[in-house]
Every structure is written in structure tokens, then in C-alpha cells.
Structure 1
Amino acid sequence: MDAYEKINQLYDLIEQGTVADLPGPYKVGVDLGTADVVLVVTDSDGNPVAGSLRWAEVVRDGLVVDFRGATEIVEELKKEVEERMGVTLEQGATAIPPGTVGRNALACSHVIAGAGLEPVCQVDEPVAAAKALKISHGIVVDIGGGTTGIAVLKNGELVFTADEPTGGTHISLVLAGAYRISFAEAEALKKDCQSHCKIMPVILPVIEKMATVVKDMLAGRNEYHEYPVYVVGGTAYLTGFGAEFSKAFGRQVHVPPHPLLVTPLGIALFG
């Protein structure tokens, strides 16, 4: 099963609330995002077994701002998946935006520990996405709710990583201001595929800013100019996002299927 097939399978498992009949031992990954929390289980070969997702606002700009709420959500997701699988999940991995350090970095591990999962690993989010995509040579751009992070890999080794505070939340703020609606209504508008063509002219400056942020991160690093670029994260769901980001970035970028689930799947592979 190739990388895209695994992502598609994970999407189906989450949407249908089903479990793949695959033997253990199992790996568990928890992605604490700004807009959502995702728990993913794979078998030892990284094939998706089960998963669950909750939209939530317990993290802001990569920082846990509602520790209790985050812990309760992970606990709920864990119980939900355990009941489907008929097993007890005991260990798990999590991820953080590049450059997150100290107590802020430890908070994500404390959350899953509080939910009953022994933390075994914590990785940078774009590194996790690269693992899910099986990239050994390329650039991964992970656009989260509050931040845009990148990871550059050469021959399977991480050679550069960076993170800046621009993400999907900024798109929602622009929509809220432009249409004079609440932030929650802007989030709903952003998730409505039928509205994407209408809102694209409004949010285009934010997409261009994201592309500029990535260009600035890579400024002066001409050796990476020919590397393929992959963009993941919920913002990449927007219809036309890949084309507009490519235009502003000055190079073609690749958007995998169900980009919101790429990083969660990659986190589980480290579990």
C-alpha cells in the first residue's frame, strides 16, 4: 500500500467509524491541532487500523491553552477507538510545531499521558508528515491552524526545519472581518466546499502570505530549489489552494489527498 492509499484508507476508517482487520502490535499517534484533535492507530507496518477526530479549540498557535479540555478529548477518542478495536491502547506519540521548546513542548506529552497513553515519542509536525508521505528527498510544508512549518529532507535525513505564525486561523479571521460574521461562522464557511470559489478572492492574500513565509524560510538555500514540495494541513483542503500557493511560491507544489490527515498518520508511525 503506497502513501496515498494509506491516507485514503485512514479517511474512510474515520468517516465510517470502522476498523481494519489487521493484527498488532499497534502504533498510536495523537495530533493536537489548533482546529482539531486526531487519534490514529496503525499496525506495525504503518497501515491504518482505526482513527477518530474532534473539532476543538484547545490549542492555539501550537500551544495547549486548555489542558483539561485537550486531555478529555484525547481520552474520549482513545475510548472510542478502543471500543471499536476491542483492545486497550497504552502508548502513543505526539507532535509539536518546529521550534517549540520547554514546557510548551512537554504540554502535548502531558496531555496524552493524562488521557492514559504513555508518551513514547514527540516529533516535529512536518517531519511526521514527511514520514507519512514516505519522502526521503523533498520539502514538506505543514499549514496548521496557527502556524506554517517546513521540513527539508535529504536522503532521508532532516537537514532543515522552521516555523512561522501564519495558518488557517488567519484565514478565518479575514473571513470574519470581510463578511462581518463570528469566528465560528467563518470557520464553518471555510469548511464548506460550496463556498470556496466565492471566498477565494477574499482569502488569497493570506495564501500568498503563507507562500511568502515559506519562500523566506528557504531564502539563500539554493541547494533545495529543485526539491519537490508537498503541502499538508487542513487549509490545503480549500479548492484551488494548491494552484494559488504554487503561483505565489513560484514553483509547483503537491497537495496529497485528505491533507488534514497526513500529519496525524505520520505521528502514529513514530508511535
Structure 2
Amino acid sequence: MKMDYLAQTNQNLIIIDEIVNDETPITAPNNVHIGIDLGTADIQTVVIDDQGVPIAAFLDWADVVRDGVVVDYAGACRIVRSQLQKVQNKLGIEPKEAITSYPPGTDPRISINVVESAGVVVSHVIDEPCSVAALLHIDNGAVVDVGGGTTGTAVIENGKLVLSLDEPSGGRHVSLTIAGGLGVDMAEAELCKRRSHEDPVIAAMARPVIEKMSDIVATHIVDHQPEAIYLTGGGTLIKGFADIFRQTFPKIEIVELSRALYLTPLAIASYGLTLQGEE
């Protein structure tokens, strides 16, 4: 059953990759679920239908959040408002409600305030790794969410969340290392990081930061025995990321997904289906 959820999620992530930032109008289904993810490196909005299939997705690279805190409130609000307008234009419906998320240990009201500034009601808010755990129906495992600024870990045992922690180490710290090593600015370092699969030098520079992230997760789960660790977040796309985690956790299955950059916003939107099923 676990593989069924993984396979379906991988398929939906591929769909998002195909439709992201496509504004071509379509006929909207009767019910939609909107998830908004305020990340350190990007802001994403994903819309799914009642079957969980993505029908719209928008992504803007943005430097408006640092370590789970909005540092450019006006900029974050502007991007969310713009993405919701694109949703309205594409689907022909006015968004009324949305679900959003927050890094573990931060104040969820920060995300809520940004999203509601765009004129929609936040129906629910969930911490980022827990949204992924719900999407994948994890009974015993850990979700590691590596965003731009933080590494979050959620541990699930017997289907229940028992631990959710966050530490300030993420993709931005990799970029800082690259910027220092190459003598370039952060914008260029970000582009280099995204090319890590093409450049072994970049991958080698990122390795110590990834090892630190794996050490953080090891500390998080020291009193637990997850069957598997599920990797999510754009930070996990750096070349060699999963291999380093496999070296750190040789007895734990390390699970990668096809387009991890979109996994959290998909999970946030899909949380609406979980809530619907509970009604």
C-alpha cells in the first residue's frame, strides 16, 4: 500500500512539473483544494481536484522568508496575491479558501497573515513535514523537509506524530558555501547550486553542509527507530544528498520522490482531502 501512495504522489509531482506556471485557461471542477507554501527560496501555490490530481500550479523564486520568518512581508503578500489571481484566471473561479503551512517551531500566524492578506480565508494550517506524512500515509517513519533556510523533521509512530523539530540549516546555507568558495554573489551561487548535477565541484562543495543536515536529523531521531526517511524540499535535489543520508543512516530506508521541489505544496493542498474524508 505504501508504494501505491508513493507511485501516485510521484505521478502527481510530474504533473505539477508539466503545468507549473502554465496560465492556459481550463474548466474547473466543482471542488478544488488550494495549498500555498511560503518557502525560503520560493513561494508556491498548487491546486488539486477532488481526486488529488493537480490542475494548476504556480511558483515564484523569492527571497522573502528567512528561517521560517517573513522578512519581506509586502513582497510575500504581493506574490501570493499574484498567484491566486493567476489561479482565478486559469480556472475561472474566485479562490475563497486556502490551506497553508509553517516550519515546525515557528508561529503559524505568520503564514496565515500573509495568505489572508490576499483576500482568502485560511481554512487550515499544518506544519510542513506533517503535511507530507499525511499525504504519503506514513505509519512509522520520518519526513525530512529541507527548505531554503531550515531542515525540519517529523517522526510518525503508529500513524501518530510524536516529534516535529526544525533547525536553521537549508539550501541557503549551501548557497553561502558556494558563494564563498567561488567568490560569487548569492544569486550566482543559487544558479550554481541548481546545476550541481552537472558540476562535480559544486556537489563537492555542498557535501559538508549536507552532512551537517544529516547530523541534525540524526539528533532529531536519536530516540526513535523510523522504518524509512522520506526526503522532501528543494534542498534535497542537490546532487549526492540522498547518498549522504544513506551513509549516515545505513539501516534506514531513504526514500526520494520524483520532483521533491513541489512535494510540500502538493501535500498542503492534499491535506484538504484528508480533512474532507474526516467529515
Write the distance in 1 (CA, Å) between the matches of 2:142 and 2:215.
Answer: 15
Secondary structure in structure 2 of the residue aligned to 1:160: strand
Q: What residue number does 1:144 align with? A: 147
Q: What residue number does 1:255 align with? A: 256
Write the distance in 1 (CA, Å) between the matches of 2:174 and 2:27.
Answer: 39
Task: Report how far residue 198 of structure 1 moved.
Answer: 2.3
Secondary structure in structure 2 of the residue aligned to 1:173: helix
Given candidates 75, 89, 100, the residue that maps to 1:94 is: 100
- Post-superposition Cα deviations, 1:57-110, rounded to whole Å, max 9, x if no partner, equal 110001111111000000111111211111111100111111113xxx212101
Given candidates 12, 18, 32, the residue that maps to 2:18 is: 12
1:270 equivalent to 2:276? Answer no
- TM-score using structure 2 length: 0.89
Task: Report how far residue 193 of structure 1 moved.
Answer: 4.8
State the percentage of identical aligned residues: 37
What pairs up with 1:134-173 in 2 under 5 angstroms?
Answer: 134-173=137-176
Secondary structure in structure 2 of the residue aligned to 1:270: helix
Aligned residues: 265
Which residues of structure 2 form unaligned runs of 5+?
A: 1-6, 273-279
- TM-score using structure 1 length: 0.92
What pairs up with 1:166-181 in 2 under 5 angstroms?
Answer: 166-181=169-184
Q: What residue number does 2:89 align with? A: 83
Given candidates 39, 44, 47, the residue that maps to 2:50 is: 44
Which residues of structure 1 form unaligned runs of 5+?
A: none
Distance 1:22 1:119, change over 3 A: same
Write the distance in 1 (CA, Å) between the matches of 2:123 and 2:199.
Answer: 39
One-letter amino acid of the structure 1 residue matched with residue 182 of structure 2: Y
RMSD over aligned Cα atoms: 1.8
Task: Report how far residue 260 of structure 1 moved.
Answer: 0.9
Q: What residue number does 2:223 align with? A: 220
Q: What residue number does 2:243 align with? A: 243
Given candidates 109, 113, 123, the residue that maps to 1:106 is: 109
